[in-house]
Amino acid sequence: MIEDALVIIPAFNEAAVIGDTLAELKKFASRILVIDDGSQDDTGLRAREAGAETLRHSANLGYGAALKTGFSYGLRYSKVSFFLTFDADGQHDPAFLEPLMNPLRKNESDYLIGSRFLMSDDSSAPAARKIGSKIFSVATSALIGQRITDPTSGMLGLTRKIAKVFTSKLFPLDFPDADVVIMLSRMGYRIQEMPVRMRPARRPGSMHSGVLKPAYYLAKMSVSMVHFALRLDLKQKRREMESAD
């Protein structure tokens, strides 16, 4: 049972599946925080009924903003040493959270990415998603000089220091993915990947479904990645943040 990490779950209109996701997750982690990102259904209520701490955004702000709220809350109200992020739709297998924690506890890494592509038998991701992930994987690996196979993974483990970075203005409020990996690498943090198994989501659709949304995501992410790759002040930003502690 993980007791030294707060598991943050951003959720938007996940009332149908959040109960099952939390019931399974509670066998592996004791501290769970659900951010109901302005859902129009009973996501928050179902999460509370399932025994998770719940925060509710009064408007839908997006995945990154929900994560930011979770990290802000964790830093302010809890003393946990680590944070984990987890999807509400049941894609993530909570059995892989414990292995994700090990490098953090041993202080071997600051930021852990749960990679579905390090598992040889992974076939759950849709083809379009696999292609998109591959493009971002190649671009991210080239930009930071370290092999990253799944920079868009939502299953992450991180330290309080990283959480503090994620509550700053540097953190993207819509889709924090590959750009964040580049940002952290440029700041000098240690990034590592661990194999995890992903399952099909418990409900159809995703925040990147449709035609316009993926196109916008691709364009926005490309700009954001180039932005962080070209910034020369990120190590200085890290020093400023750490000296403010």
The answer to whether 79 contacts other proteins (rule: CB under 8 A) is no
Question: At 127, which helix (H) or strand (E)?
Answer: helix 127-144
Min dist. Cβ of residue 205 to other proteins (A): 24
Q: At 36, give phi and psi (nearest 5°).
A: -80, 105
A 10 A CB-CB count for 58 gives 7
- How does strand 111-115 pair with strand 156-159? antiparallel
Do 43 and 15 contact (CB within 8 A), yes or no? yes
In the list 16, 45, 55, 75, the residue contacting other proteins (rule: CB under 8 A) is: 55
In the list 31, 57, 116, 186, the residue contacting other proteins (rule: CB under 8 A) is: 57
Min dist. Cβ of residue 36 to other proteins (A): 9
Tell which positions 189-218 bind other proteins, by CB under 8 A.
Answer: none
Tell which positions 35-54 bind other proteins, by CB under 8 A.
Answer: 35, 53-54
In the list 56, 190, 208, 231, the residue contacting other proteins (rule: CB under 8 A) is: 56
CA pair distance 126, 200, nearest whole angstrom:
9
Please state, in angstroms and as integers, the Cα–Cα distance from residue 64 to each residue in 137, 187, 208, 242, following that order: 20, 19, 14, 22
Q: Which is nearer to other proteins, 58 or 120 (CB)?
A: 58
Summarize as ranges the residues that interact with other proteins (CB under 8 A).
35, 53-59, 61, 65, 68-69, 72-73, 76-77, 169, 173
